[in-house]
Amino acid sequence: MSDNLTTPPRFEGFTNEQMIHLCATMLTKWSELIVKEMRDDIARMATLEIYEQTYLRAKWLKTIDMILSAKDAVDKYDTPEGKLDLIAQQFGEQLGMPAQSLAGDIKRRMDWYKKRVAATFEQGIKGDLNRHTITSPVEQIFLMEWRYLEIDQKHGVTIKPQTELTISGSVYRIDFVVTWADQTQKLAIEIDGHEFHEKTKQQAARDRARERSIIREGYTIMRYTGSEVFANPRKCVHEVAALIAQLKAAS
């Protein structure tokens, strides 16, 4: 095995030293392009609105985080076992080595399953958001947490986003309505995404009249501010789940 390692199977014809030099050249060029892009963003910063400025700040902070994370991910191989595992990953097939150590193989399989579960979850959420045209970020966060906690399956209920109710000729759109079999009580969930904006007296009066109309139709209303959902969506979802259990027990 040691003889084979003098000539890396990847990029055949390169010595180990030449291969590392090539990696250094590629990384240097990539770094130059990244720094140029950063400087271009700095140069145009004064012409951008605050939203775009904040986005660029977040973008480059995220880039630095990812670069540091990549370095940490490679440094973890700096052990005798880790070195062998990394060599097996890169050149195992060409060198006739076991593909991976058992521990390394289990971890990679676990990572694959996590990605598969995450992809399935993401597809389901995107389908919900698109099908019901949910554009409010806090409503999206609430629904993601609801789906993640599998409230429908665990409590035998169905959540219906963006449900329209017609009451005395008026149409009201409810953020979320929760239904279940043999339901004698109805549950509506409202999330106020505009709590930082001052409402006029007329707007506040319309909101109260709307809520009274919904209550008269037999609905229990759970209302949250956008800040509550953003800060702790799990707490909000658990509170709704607890209320569902109470309503089902009382029916």
Nearest to 212, CA basis, from 196, 195, 188: 188
| Claim: this prediction has a pTM higher than 0.95 | no
Nearest to 134, CA basis, from 163, 158, 157, 156: 163
pLDDT tens sequence across 57-114: 999 999 999 999 988 888 888 888 778 778 777 777 666 665 555 556 677 778 888 8
Per DSSP, which regions of the chain are E strands? 157-167, 170-180, 186-192, 219-225
Sheet arrangement for strand 186-192: 157-167, 170-180, 186-192, 219-225
Which string of b and e fits 8-24 if b means at least 16 CB within 10 Å?
beeeeeeeeeeeeeeee
Written as one letter, the residue type at 195 is E
Whether residue 2 has pLDDT greater than 50: no
Please state, in angstroms and rounded to a whole number, the distance separating the CA atoms of residues 161 and 125. 12
